[in-house]
Structure formats: structure tokens, C-alpha cells
Chain A
Amino acid sequence: MSVKGQSRRQGVIRLLLMGLPWSLRPAQAQRMNSGQLLSFEAMVQPLVKGAPLRAQDVRLHAPILAENGSLVPVQVQVNSPMTAQEHVTHVHLLSQRNPVTQMAVFELGPWNGRAEISTRVRLAGTQELVALARLSNGEFRYARMEIIVTESACVDAS
């Protein structure tokens, strides 16, 4: 989906990496949680690459508790004038535990008017989410939150 839509508050969705390639995992007793919990640095640095990074101007809304990880609503708002000179170029949604760390990238520009996105993500268990915004001056802003995914499953694995 690469529509340069001007519609409402939605950013342009360029990539939605939610078809998780779990096939790399060995067939074994399935756990609801999977993967290693990454450090914050390991989550963000592949994108930030040492550029200035601050925990401000980004608001991340999601439920603290999710019944299961299949559909978790997430909303991100970035405080930005969204002018040609000063705007948000990308919002990245990063997962601490999913097999694919970068769950989604939203490409934004001054045409959006507001830097707000909302979507639903799939989470492989309780973990931290990071909303990382890249600004037009090359700096980054972020917000992070923990989401608890309850495990309503009588699966064999512990």
C-alpha cells in the first residue's frame, strides 16, 4: 500500500511488516511469548545511527493490558508544526520481542497537517513498544511503553 493520500490524520503507510516470518523458529512446543527481549539501544540504533535522540514530543497510546497479542490498537502523536521546514518524516513502531523489530514505518510529510498515526499491531507477548519519530532535521524523538499481553491459552509449553 503506497498511497500518497492526503486523507485525515493518517500517515502514508509504506511498510507493514506484520506477516511475521516465524518460520525461522524450530518446531517445538509453542510458547505465547517468543524471541529475546532487546535492549532499547538495540531497538533504536539501527535507525537512529547516532543522530540526536530525545524522549520528548512523542505520545504513544496503547492499552496497558491486551487480552492477546493478535490485535493491539496503537496510536502515536508527535508534536510538530508539520511545515515544509519542520516536520516529521517517519514514525517507526518498534517491538522489543517480535521476530521483526520494526513492525511498521509510516512516511509523513507536511501534507499530513498533523503527525498522528493509528494502527493495530500483533505482539509476540509482553514487551516494550517504542514509537520513534524522525524529524526533517535528521534528529529523532521517541516514546516508549510496556504492553502486557495476557496468555489465555492452555498451551502445553510453560
Chain B
Amino acid sequence: MNTPRTDAGRRHFLKVSSSATAGLSLGFFVPERASAADVPQLNVWVEIEPNDTIVIRYARAEMGQGSMTSAPMIIAEELDADWKKVRVEYATAHDNLRTKRAYGDMAAVGSRTIRNSQAYLRQAGATARHMLVAAAAQQWGVPASECNASLSKVTHTASKRSLSYGQLATAAAKLQAPKEVALKDPKDWTLIGKPIARVDIPDIVVGKTKYGIDTQLPGMLHAAVAACPVFNGKVKTMDASKVENRRGIVKVLNLGEFVAVVADNWWRAKEALREVAIDWDVGEHGTLSSATIMAHFKAGMEQTELAVARNDGNAPEALGKAAKVVEADYFTPYLAHATMEPMVCTAWLQGDKLEVWSSSQNPEATLAVGAATAGVPQPNVKVYPVQLGGGLGRKSPQDFTRQAVMIAKAMAGKPVKMLWTREEEIQHGLYRPASLMRFKAGLDASGKLDALHIRVSAPSILATLLKLPLPKGVDGQAVASFNDHPYDIPHTLVDYAQRNTNVPVGFWRSVGHSQNPYGRECFIDELAQAAGKDPLAFRLEMLPNTEKSKRDRSILEAVTKAAGWGSKLPAGVFRGVAETEGYGSWTACVCEVSVNAKNEVKIHRVVIGIDPGYAVNPDNIVAQFQGSVVHGLTAIFWGENTLKEGRVEQSNFHDYRMMRLNEMPKVEVVIAPTGGFWGGVGEPAQAPLAPALVNAISAALGKRIRSLPLKNHGLSLARVQGPTA
């Protein structure tokens, strides 16, 4: 059974082998067994039980992105494991710390799990296979080269002998691990590239999965929290006298940046919190509004000192000489993540030992923040893996872990589960930045695009959230898909005005690619129209079959072919197309829509495709793309956080609307891997969807839609199934 284990039950006693002292590199660790009965471990990733069950460790978070299946598949491929006998278990951040990072980076961010770990995961699988084969060869007294491994068995064909991995594991674990083993040729893969059912789904379906929100500990207390409604404000005074003596209320804490009510159950804590009188010191940002932010962005457009992200040729000069100049401003709003499970973290501080169960995309960061907040040494912290009820980029920064540990510290000795309300989640997000984008293009007399100037006025996530120094003042996320556009345009200038506000910004699934491709690919459509050309032909003309743009071209061709681009559509139905590159993959999308007299958009078709190089688990890619369309359409039609008096105006799903089941169109996913590289899958689908859809809607309406969400243009999404009103 492929059931993932989420408990940290078994203890392994590892010691660093001599080959693993190379500092930061990934070492393989030789187990120092506590007892002879312990299960043989071939390296930190692979353990084989006598009954042939293969335990493969997974080191990142699982939040629905499916890497908990895809990453172990990569190990199993090189191991020649029988997938039916594989069980996936989490590695922990504290083991990673103790073993000098044997599991490497643990963050599930940036669509990075596969692309950044495939090399060492393949090596781990291949190394273990090599040891099993060597053990069999030794036992039989034959050369290892005469032995073959397949489906968890080693076979010596000449003598028709075979031994299972379970039978070989103990002997194999005693062998010296080879330093490097040749990896399979991709044409010999038997598992990678096959649609494999996700290992975590059976438990999800029967309700057995433990999400962070499900953490239960003996004697556990519950905390509800409220931070200042104006970002970065503080508690001035707090009066909890009205609730302190209520049944179940244990303590009301003024923690400076926020107030926490600790109670015997969460509902009591949350209800009491409403009646704690808090006077907030909102600081100087109590007047911030969407209008003042827009003025701030517009001023950025007129800024004279700008960071230059790309400068090919001489765009200003070429624009001056152009036969035709087209200009447009595009705008995308702030967006909260609205993960299905709000921020949640359970922490238990006992003396100088801290235990944490956090719905975190980065367990190592959870450990670091937990230790720093509790004031305990890092080796004294344990971070237990829990499944995340969605992450979407919100759960990589550890603001909520810090809060929970602050509460646990105040309640030292008792485990406390801190859970945010939906209102807290929507109003204290790390928002996808709003962004104002200005496009100016020059076409020559034949309609060829000669010059493009893109100016972005937007906050910087890297400068404000991560406090990173920006190379040449450019936040690569703010100008993503502009600074690296693939089109053959002689003159391109991309410049950036960093316009930060008091609204905290963060990583929202696909980050800059959630907004910039919308501007870029819609504007390209405007140019095609100005040139009197078909939008697809216009793009293909600018994408020569060179190394630089061949994959943009091939994914565009694959998706438009699947969508039947150019074929006749029913009256009133219009198409839109877009293509992008991001997270190491290439994507394209075609949408077919009609808009009725009530301004309801009916989506007839969504054809969306990806070239991820190698498609590890096609079934999961389809799922990621379907999920991305749900998430993307939600943002495109309704997603927007607005500011008034320094506060986010939206608070819950009544005014921060999610897509409904009966509005969901069918999604046709095209997987067109060209091989030779490993691209990300969890985020890239967001990028081409908005422009393809909006291009289709603009075609249907006969006017351009240059800002999101679409609700602000009076548009709604028609129901596509279920009862009609």
C-alpha cells in the first residue's frame, strides 16, 4: 500500500559516513542500528523491509501539489522498485538538521521540488539499486554485470536465480555506497512518464489524513488571534475584563503585535476575542486606500529614476520613428491566498524543548523561526510533518508559526493550537502585489513589431518581504515574463519603479507570472489587431525556431493544434490565445468564449498545455492544471483586495468570492514534453490562462479589457452545468 506515514514514530540512529563530510553537499548516511531487528536502510531515502516493502522518504511539504508521489517515483525509477510495494514517509526538518541536511532543501515553493531535487533523488535510487545488485552478485559469486534488477528483484539470468530486495537488503546495507552511479537513459524509464495515482489520495478520501488543522494533543489549548487591522499596527491598550472569567477562557494575551485568546476550545476563544476591547495604534497608515495606492503607482510611471530590467537596442528612439505606436495600461489587483485551511500552527514548549506541528511549506524555516521565537537551541526543536490544506505560497513565510510559538511561550508547558479565522486570513495576507503595467509598442509599415517598452510600477516582494538587495534595483518577480520575453523584437526596454506600500506582499502561486503574462499577452493581441494579423500568426512570426524561442513556438503549436485554431466557430463564439514560459516550463492556452446580453461569459473550451521537459507524473500534471484553472478563474473573475482606511475591505467568501462547481468549464490539458530538462508544474498554468481568456472575451466584446478582476467590468461567469436559474 502506498499510504504515506505522517507520524514520526520510528527513530533512526544515523551517523555521518566518511563520504558525507563534504560540508554542504548531500551526504548519504550509514545507519548505526539500535538493534539487529532494525530495518535495513540503504541511504537516507530508501529503506527496505524484509517483506519487500520499500520505504521511500519524501522531504518536502505536500499541499495538494502531488510531489509526495512524483518525487518518490523518481527514486523508485532508478531503484527499479515495484511501485506497488512502495510506501512513502515524510522526512523531518529536525532529522535534516541533525544529519547536516541529508535531505537537502525541504521547501515546497517555486514549483521546485522535482526540478531541484531530481538529480540527487535519481542518484539515491540508483545507488541503492547498485548496492542490492552487488549484494546479490556477492551471494551468488557472479559478476554484478551479469545481474539485472527489475520490479524489486535481482536476477542472474544465466543461472536463473533471483532474490527479492527484501531478501537482499540486510547484506546490501552493509556494503559501501558507490560514489556515483550511471543513471538510466530516459528511454529506459518504466515509471517516470506513467500516470500514477497519488499516494496521499486514499487517506484524503476516507478522512484519515492529518492536516495541520487536525492536530490534537492531550491537554491541548486553543488560541484565536487578532492582529491590527491596519498592517504593522500595534496594540495600544487591551481590556479583556468582559471575557476573562468566561467558561473555558484560560488567558487573554497582549503580545504587542497581536492579541490572543487562549481557551479550552477554539470556538470559545474566537467568540471571546470579538468582545476583547482592543485599542490599536495604527501608526501612520490609517488613511491608506486603493485610490492612494493607485496614485502612488501612477506616480511611479512618471518617475525618472527607474531600474532597467532589459534594454535591447534603443527602444525610445525606435518608438520615435515607428509607423504606428500603440499604448495601453494594464492593472492587476492585490490578492489574498484564501487557502482552504487558514493559517494554523500547534506549538508545545516544555522547558527548553519545543515541538511544532505547522502547516508550513518550509519545515526548516518553521524550525528556525520556532527556535528563535522560543529562545531555545535549534537542536531542541522538533517539527512534525503535517499535510497542508493548501499553501499557494502563503505558507512559506513563517509569520503564523512565530505567532503560535509566542503564544506557546506565554503558555509554557501546555500545547496550544493557534488557528486563524477566515477573516484574519483574508485581512492579514501576504498579498500578490497589485501592479500597474504600461506598454508602448512601435510597429513598422508592414505591421512588424519593432520596439516595445514596458514599464512596471509595483511593490517588490524580494525587497520588502525577504529584504533582499535587488540587482540593479530590479525585482525579477515584478518584471517576470517581460525581462525574458521570447519574442524577436529588435528594441525592448523594460523598466521598473519600485513602489512599496504598507500592504505586505508575498508569493501567490506563480507570483509575477500570475499577472505579467496577462498584460504582455493581451497587449500582443492588441498589436496583432493593430497590424491586422491573426494573433497566432503574429506570435509565430516573432518566434523563430531558434534555441531561444523554439519551445515557446512548439508549445504554442501543440496547444493551438489541439484547440483547432483557425477552424470555424459557431456564431458568437470567439477564441483567445497566449503563451508563456515560467518555472522552467513552457505553457500555452486557448480559450473559446461567448458573452450573452447579460454580460455572462460562457467558457466553451479551455485548452491548456505544458512542455515541462520530462513529464514525471502526467496524471498529476493534469490535476495541477485543472486546479490551476479553478484557482485562476477565481482570481480572473472575482479576485481583488481593496484598501480603505488602511484596512483590507474584504473579509470572507461573501466578498472574496471563490469559483463554484457549476461554473467550472471542462479543461483539456495538453502535455507536450520535449525532453532534456525538468520544469515545474504546480504554478506555470496560471500564466497563460488569464490572457487567453481575456483575449477571447475582448474579441467577443469588441473592446479591450485591461484590468482585473472581470467583475469590475460588469462581467460574470455563466453556469455551465447544474440547474439553471
User: Contact residues of A with B, CB < 8 Å?
Assistant: 19-20, 22-23, 25-30, 32, 37, 63-71, 122, 126-128, 146, 148, 150-158
Contact = CB atoms under 8 A, between A and B. Distances in A.
A152 B397 contact: yes
Given A65-B367, A128-B23, A70 B468 contact: yes
Contact of B368 (A26, A32, A37, A65): A65
Nearest to B508: A154
Nearest to A23: B472
Q: Is the interface of B mostly helix, strand, loop or mixed?
A: loop
Interface of B: 23-24, 97, 100-101, 105-107, 109-112, 115-116, 308-310, 361-362, 364-365, 367-369, 371-372, 378-379, 393, 396-398, 462, 466-477, 480, 483-484, 507, 509-513, 582-584, 680, 683
A154 B109 contact: yes
A66 B365 CA distance: 7
A18 to B, nearest CB: 9
Given A146-B23, A157-B476, A158-B584, A27 B109 contact: no
Nearest to A31: B476
Given A27-B472, A126-B24, A150-B364, A155 B308 contact: no
16 contacts: A19-B469, A23-B472, A27-B309, A66-B368, A67-B365, A67-B372, A70-B468, A126-B24, A148-B364, A152-B362, A152-B397, A153-B507, A154-B510, A156-B476, A158-B115, A158-B116
Contacts of A22: 469-471
Given A30-B471, A30-B477, A70-B468, A155 B511 contact: yes
A156 B477 contact: yes
B23 A156 contact: no
Contact of A150 (B309, B368, B467, B584): B368
A26 B470 CA distance: 11
Given A22-B470, A26-B471, A146-B24, A153 B512 contact: no
Contact of A153 (B23, B101, B396, B471): B396
Nearest to A68: B466
Contacts of A32: 466, 468
A58 to B, nearest CB: 19
A157 B110 CA distance: 8
- Chain B CB within 10 A, most for which of A19, A127, A150, A151: A150
Nearest to B476: A30
B545 to A, nearest CB: 23
Given A70-B468, A153-B466, A156-B583, A63 B372 contact: yes
B381 to A, nearest CB: 9
B252 to A, nearest CB: 29
A65 to B, nearest CB: 4
Given A22-B470, A67-B365, A148-B101, A30 B397 contact: no
A150 B510 CA distance: 19
Given A65-B364, A70-B468, 10 more contacts: A22-B469, A29-B484, A37-B24, A64-B378, A128-B24, A151-B109, A152-B397, A154-B110, A155-B511, A156-B513
Nearest to B473: A23
B105 A150 contact: yes
A71 B369 CA distance: 12
Nearest to B100: A146
A151 B107 contact: yes
Given A154-B109, A158-B115, A27 B371 contact: no
A152 B472 contact: no
Q: Shortest 6 CB-CB distances between A and B: which pairs?
A: A154-B507, A70-B467, A30-B476, A152-B396, A65-B368, A67-B365
A47 to B, nearest CB: 21
Q: Which of B24, B115, B393 lies at the interface centre, i.e. has the most chain A CB atoms within 10 A of its CB?
A: B24
A156 B472 CA distance: 18
A63 B371 contact: yes
A71 B372 CA distance: 12
Contacts of A150: 105-107, 362, 364-365, 368
Contacts of B364: 65, 148, 150
Contact of B398 (A27, A28, A128, A152): A152
Contacts of B23: 128, 146
Contacts of A122: 467, 469
B472 A155 contact: no
A96 to B, nearest CB: 9
Contacts of B470: 22
Nearest to A37: B24
A136 to B, nearest CB: 32
A60 B660 CA distance: 56
B65 to A, nearest CB: 12
A37 B511 CA distance: 29
A127 B474 CA distance: 24
A67 to B, nearest CB: 4
A1 B309 CA distance: 34
A155 B584 CA distance: 11
A71 B467 contact: yes
A57 to B, nearest CB: 23
A33 to B, nearest CB: 10
A102 B569 CA distance: 65
B110 A67 contact: no
A28 B24 contact: no
Contacts of B475: 30
A154 B511 contact: yes
A75 B308 CA distance: 38
Nearest to B461: A153
Nearest to B462: A30
B469 A154 contact: no
Nearest to A30: B476
Nearest to B678: A158
B476 A28 contact: yes
A25 B109 CA distance: 24
B483 A27 contact: yes
